[in-house]
Amino acid sequence: MHIVIAGGSGFIGEKIQNFLLGNGHQVTILTRNPNKTIQTRGISAVEWLQKDSRPEKELREVDAIINLAGESINGLRWTNKKKKEIVHSRMTATNEIVRMMNELHPKPQVLINASAIGYYGMSTTQEFTEVNNDEAPDFLATVVRKWENAAAKARNTGTRVVFARFGLVLGNGGALPLMLLPYKMKIGGTIGTGEQWVSWIHVEDVVRILYFAILHKEIEGPLNVTAPNPVTMRQFGKAISSVMHSPHWLPVPSWALKIGLGEMSSMLLEGQKVIPEKALRYDFNFHFPQLERALEEIVYT
C-alpha cells in the first residue's frame, strides 16, 4: 500500500514509518521541509502547508492517509497564544488534508485522523467507550470536537474516516520520560489525589492499532487508542516505582501543579477511564495489556 503521513516526524510518526516500511509499504511524509527529511527506499517527502504548495500533484495511488499533525499540547502553560496555536495547527492541517483529498484521483480508501480521549471530558467515576458522545465543556474536549468535525468532511469524498482517540502514549518519547524522572531521582510519589484515571497505551500497540484500522474496513468513526486496563494515578506511580525499584513516597499536591501549570494541570489532576471497546470487539490483540509489562519493556530495552 501507499500510505501518506502528516506529522510523521514526531514520536509516534517515526514509529509508524518504521513499522510500515518493515511491512513492505510505500510511505510518503507531508512536511514543510522536504529537504530535511531522510528519503530512503520506500519513503519520500512532499512539501505542504507552504505558499503555493500542492502536494496532491505529487501523490499517486494513495491508499491511506494518517494525520498526526498539530501543535503539541505539552508545555509550561496553556497561555491564550498556546491555545490558539493548538487549535489553529490542527484545523489548518486537517482542512488542507480534506482539500487535498478532494483533488486526488482515485480517492484514498481511509483517513486515520489523530484525536484524543480528551473528547470525553474528565471524570473519576464514569467509564467511557466510543458510544459516549456527551459534549464536555473543557478546552481539550472543545479542541477535539473541532478537530474531528473538520476530519469528518473527508467522508464527502467517499473515504472512510477513523478518529483515533489517543490516551497517554508510553514509550521513549512523549510524556513518559518526564514522568519517570522523579523516580530516577528517588523522589517519586502520587500526583494530586491519586484517584484520577490514567488511560494509557504502549506506543507499539498504538502503531499496530492504527495499522489494524487501515486494514479493517468495518472500523470507522471513533476508535479509542488505549490499553484495555486503565489505572488510577496512584496505581500508575506505584507501577513505575516497582519497575524502577525506586521509592514512591513524595506526593505532588494539586495546588502546586495548579500554580505551576495553570489550566494545563488538568491533564495530570483529572482524567477519564477509557475502554477500547471497538478494538476489543474486532479482536485486536494488545501486546501490552498490563501497565507493568509495558513499563518494563520501555525501561529495560
Ranges of residues in the chain whose predicted pLDDT is under 70? 37-41, 75-76
pTM over the 0.85 mark: yes
Looking at residue 26, its pLDDT comes to: 95
pLDDT score at 40: 65
Give the pLDDT of residue 37: 67
Per-residue confidence (pLDDT) for residue 76, from 0 to 100: 65
The radius of gyration computed from the CA coordinates of the chain, to the nearest angstrom, equals: 19
CA 214 to chain centre: 16
Given this model, what pLDDT does residue 39 score?
63
Q: Structural domains in the chain?
A: 2-300 (3.40.50.720)
**pLDDT at res. 255:** 85
